[in-house]
Amino acid sequence: MTSRLRTLFHLDLVRSAKAVQHLTTFVVAAISTILITRLFLALSGYPQIGGDTGLHVAHVLPGGLLMLVAIWLQLSCIGPGPRPVAALAGGVGFGLFIDEVGKFVTSDNDYFFEPSAAIMYVVFTGFVVGAHFWRRRVPPADDERVANAAHVLVDGLAGRLSEHRRAEALHSLDKVGDVPGAAQVHELLRTVPTREPAVPQRLEGVWQHVAEGFGRVSSSRFALPVMGFLLFTQIAWALVVLVSLLVSRTPHGVSVAGVLLGTAASLVFTTTGLWQGRRRGRRAAVESFQRSVLTSLLLTQVFLFAASQFAATAGLVGDLVLLGLVNADLARMRREHAVP
């Protein structure tokens, strides 16, 4: 019976080699959209689209349309080409959607419902933790690597493959063993023509150039203490803002508790990272730094923007820079570890 149930509910999903990149784009776009939206509304005095006509076009509607665009791209196109645009459009759309969660859970449609920040935090944290857990618990198998290369080959057969994308796929295939179809896909990838990257691939290329810039900075021997210093600065910034808000009696209990919990967790992860860097090596330190940045991004800033949109926006910029540095450093170390 148990075996039959497993067969019925087995989904046979093949994971994308660029899942982390696309999911990161989605989450960063969503959180950035929330913070920027709240900042814009605060600066503009919370205007209503529709004026005095009795109509109010809530921003959940354009959010839903952008999510529809992302779904449409995925359902109507094949190959990896549309995924960067879909991740960006879906993230912005989801950010506009969940920003109005307070209206969905209150009888008086309260946009400023204080626990909204906690709801957003739970959603984003569950999303990120679940994605990373699935990815790291079961590393990509060789047959999944071949399947991803075949997915890239789809663009090549249609004459829409860039040289950079082909080089990535060939490099991935070089790491697999004797897997059925690997040699055939490798040969086809070598023979299909390439062309200049289109808009979606250019968008992905922008990320690549940014990642290369972060990689150059993170490869410096001074990068580890600099990252630690910047993380401590982020923590101190959040605490200073919180103290100033407490003095002015601006925030409420939920926001204060959330910011304190986030800064405490970031402090633990940062301190642990510096300690592990001495005992277990650079990779252990940077992985702990990554947890610190994600905690700040997904917890501290989310609760902080409920009390101060300006402070949270500044903190967001710092977190994105730090996230780029730690991710670039981890990617470089993984590549070095993979070299025979």
Dump pLDDT digits (tens) for 19-48: 877 888 888 889 888 878 887 887 877 776
Mean pLDDT of 292-310: 77
Distance CA 288, CA 208 (A): 24
Say if residue 90's pLDDT is above 90. Answer: yes
Contact 94, 26 (CB under 8 A): yes
31 located within any domain: yes
Give the DSSP per-residue string, 2-61: HHHHHHHH---PPPPTTHHHHHHHHHHHHHHHHHHHHHHHHHHT---TTTTSS----THH
Do 223 and 202 share a structural domain?
no
Q: Is residue 340 part of a domain?
A: no
Does the pLDDT value for residue 250 go beyond 90? Answer: no
| 336 domain-assigned | no
Q: Does residue 137 fall inside a structural domain? A: no
* pLDDT at res. 269: 92
Residues 154 and 241 in one domain: no
Question: Model confidence over 108-159: pLDDT tens digits?
Answer: 888 878 677 767 767 877 777 777 666 666 667 788 888 888 888 888 888 8
Q: Are residues 57 and 81 in the same domain?
A: yes
Q: Is the pLDDT of residue 78 over 60?
A: yes
Evaluate if residue 55 carries a pLDDT over 70.
Answer: no
Instruction: Give the integer Cα–Cα distance in Å for 75 and 64.
Output: 16
What whole-number percentage of the chain has pLDDT above 70? 80
Q: Is the same domain home to 252 and 186?
A: no
Single out the residue in 190, 212, 234 at which a domain terminates.
212
Q: What pLDDT is stored for residue 339 in this prediction?
A: 42
Quick one: 224 and 202 in the same domain? Answer: no
Round to whole Å and give the CA distance between 308 and 318: 16
| Structure confidence at residue 199 (pLDDT) | 60
Q: How far is it, in rounded angstroms, from Cα 261 to Cα 94?
A: 25
Check residue 50 and give its pLDDT: 55
Helix (H) or strand (E) holding 150: helix 142-157
Looking at residue 241, what is its pLDDT?
81
Domain assignment present for residue 307? The answer is yes
**Shared-domain flag, residues 118 and 49:** yes
In a domain, 72, yes or no: yes
113, 32: one domain: yes
For the question of whether the overall pTM of this predicted structure is more than 0.95, the answer is: no
Q: Which whole number is the average pLDDT over 206-217?
A: 72
Q: Are residues 154 and 233 in the same domain?
A: no
The pLDDT assigned to 208 comes to 66
Report the pLDDT averaged over residues 82-97: 91
Q: What's the token pair of residue 165? A: 């994308």
Q: What is the pLDDT of residue 138?
A: 65
Q: What is the average pLDDT value for the chain, to the nearest integer?
A: 79
Whether 48 maps to a domain, the answer reads: yes
Judge whether residue 333 has pLDDT over 70: yes
pLDDT: which is higher, 249 or 247: 247
* Whole-number pLDDT of residue 134: 66
Q: Is the pLDDT of residue 203 over 80?
A: no
Lowest mean pLDDT among 149-158, 217-226, 309-318: 309-318
Tell me the pLDDT tens digit for each residue of 320-330: 788 878 878 88
84 lies in the same domain as 68: yes
**Alpha-carbon distance values, 73 to 26, 63, 80, 281 (Å):** 15, 16, 11, 43
Domain around 56: 9-126
Residue 91 or residue 326, greater confidence: 91
Contacts of 16 (CB under 8 A, 6+ apart): 22, 80, 83, 148, 151
Q: Looking at residue 4, what is its pLDDT?
A: 56
Identify whether the C-beta of residue 205 lies closer than 8 Å to the C-beta of residue 164. Answer: yes
**Residues 152, 65 share a domain:** no
Q: At which of 192, 212, 232 does a domain end?
A: 212
Q: How many structural domains are present in the chain?
A: 3
Residue where a domain stops, chosen among 161, 194, 212: 212
Same domain, 153 and 244: no
Q: Is the pLDDT of residue 340 over 50?
A: no
**Residue 85 falls inside a structural domain:** yes
